[in-house]
Amino acid sequence: MTTEEVRGAAERAARTSYGRLLALLAASSGDVALAEDALSGAFEQALRRWPHDGVPDNPEGWLLTVARNRLRDVWKSAAARASAPLDADSARHDPLAEHDPLAIGDKRLELLFVCAHPAIDPAVRTPLMLQTVLGFEAAEIARAFAVAPSAMAQRLVRAKRRIRDARIPFIVPPRTAMAERLPPVLEAIYACAALSWRGDAESLAGEAQYLAVTLAGLLETEAEAWGLAALSTLTLARRGAGGGPFVPLDEQDPSSWDADLIAEGEAYLRRAQPAGAPGGVPAGAPGRFQLEAAIQAVHCDRRRTGATDWPALRMLYAALVAVSPTLGARVAAAAVIGRADGAEAGLDALPPEADGESFQPWWAARAELLSAAGRDASTAYRRAAELADDDAVASFLRARAG
C-alpha cells in the first residue's frame, strides 16, 4: 500500500472516528487535552505503521488501543513522580480498563454536553465543539471567529483545563435536567451554522448540520434537537455553490436548491412533530428551532409549488415571535407581514428605530419595505450596506440604493 493510500485511510478514519474516539478517551479520563495528545499520537503512529503492516481490519479499535496505552503511560509516569502516599490509590485506578476496543461506544453526546456546560464560557462552547467533536485545528477555528490564533488556542486550553480541574462530568444530564441543559447545546450548534469561514468560501454550515443531526439522533426523542437538525439541513439545502453575487431568497432559482437535502430536512421536521401522543394528548407547543425549521420548509416548498406561501410564513413568524421575541425574529416577521399584507403594514410592524438602528437586518428590511411602498429607500439601503459584514451583500444593497 502506498503512503498516499495509507494517508487516505488514516484521514478517513480521522474524519469518521475522531470525535467518537476523543469523546471516549476524554470521558474516561475527564481530561480533554490529555485525550487529544494521546489520540494525535495514535494517528501519527498509524501513519508510520500502516504503510508497512497494512491498514488493520478495525482501524478505530487499533487507534483506540494505541491511544489508551499512551494514556496509561502518562498515568504510570505521573504515579511514579507522585510522592504523596494518597496518590498511589488514584494511580492504580485505570478508568479505561472496562472498555473493549472492539466495541466502541459513542460518548459524543456526553462530550457535547461538556462543551456546552453552563460552567463553560458561552463564547468558547462552539469553538470547543468544533475542536473536540469535529477535530478542527485551533487556527482554523480562530479564522472562523475572526480572532488571533494564539487567543483562540488560549481560550480552548483554558476551557479544557476548567473541564478537568472543576471536574465537569461526562454524562448526559437526566431527563429532569434536560430543559435547562439542552438549550445551550442547541445554541452552540446553531452558532456554528451562523458562522462562515473568513478568507475562503467554504462554509461551516455543513459541519453544523452534521453536529445537529448527530445530536438529534443520539437523543432520539428531543423535539427541539430534531427542529435544529431540520433547520440546519434545510438551510444547507439552499446554500448553493456560494461565492458569486448575493441573491435574496425570494429571487433565488429554487431549482438550484438541493432536493435531497430538502427531503432530509423535511423528514427531520416530521420527527420533531410526533403525530399526537397516546391518548390524543396534543404535543407541546413547538419551540424556536422547530418554528425556524418550519419557516425554512415553507421557503423550500417554492421548489415544488413555484410560489411562496406568505400567509403561512406570517403565521409561523407570529408563533416564533411569541416563543422567542428576538430583534431578528421581529424584523423578519415585519418583512413577511409586508409581503402578506402590504408594505405599509410591514413598516408598521417593524420594531422602532431605537431598537434597530445598529442592526443590519432592520435597515435591510426597512429599505425593502420602503421601496415596495414606493417611498424613498436610498438612505436605508445605504445604511444597510454600511452595516453588512459580507461584501456580496453590501454591494447588492449599494446597487439597490441607486
Partner 1 sequence: MRYTLLLHYEEMDAETLGGEALAEGQAAFASYAATLQAAGVLVGAEVLQPSAVTTTVRVRDGALQVQDGPFADTKEQLGGTVVIDVPDLDAAIGFARQAPPASWGTVEVRPGAVHTVEGVWTPNA
Using rule CB under 8 A, residue 123 touches partner 1: no
Eight-class DSSP state of 173: P
| Burial category of 382 from C-beta neighbours within 10 Å (exposed 0-12, middle 13-18, buried 19 and up) | middle
Site for partner 1 in 62-121 (CB under 8 A): 84, 86-87, 89-90, 117-119
Q: Are 366 and 335 within 8 A, CB to CB?
A: no
Cell of residue 301, nine digits: 416548498
Q: How far apart are CB 117 and partner 1 at their closest, in Å?
A: 8
Site for partner 1 in 25-64 (CB under 8 A): none
* Count of residues in contact with partner 1, rule CB under 8 A: 15
What distance in Å separates the CA atoms of residue 86 and residue 205, rounded to the nearest whole number? 49
Using rule CB under 8 A, residue 165 touches partner 1: yes
Using rule CB under 8 A, residue 185 touches partner 1: no
The piece of 2-10, 102-110, 165-173, 342-350 that touches partner 1 (CB under 8 A) is 165-173
Q: How far apart are CB 293 and partner 1 at their closest, in Å?
A: 30
Q: Would you say 2 or 176 has its CB closer to partner 1?
A: 176
Cell of residue 224, nine digits: 427541539
Strand partners, 70: none
Tell me the C-alpha to C-alpha distance, in Å, between residue 300 and each of 288, 303, 388.
18, 6, 25
Q: How far apart are CB 164 and partner 1 at their closest, in Å?
A: 10
Q: How far apart are CB 118 and partner 1 at their closest, in Å?
A: 8
Residue 174, CB-side half-sphere exposure with 13 Å CA sphere: 1
Q: Which of 55, 134, 156, 168 binds partner 1 (CB under 8 A)?
A: 168
Residue 347 CB neighbours (<10 A): 18
Which parts of 133-258 fold into alpha helices (H)? Answer: 138-144, 149-165, 178-194, 205-219, 223-237
Q: Would you say 82 or 327 has its CB closer to partner 1?
A: 82
Using rule CB under 8 A, residue 166 touches partner 1: yes
Using rule CB under 8 A, residue 167 touches partner 1: yes
**Interface with partner 1 by CB under 8 A: which residues?**
84, 86-87, 89-90, 117-119, 165-169, 171, 173
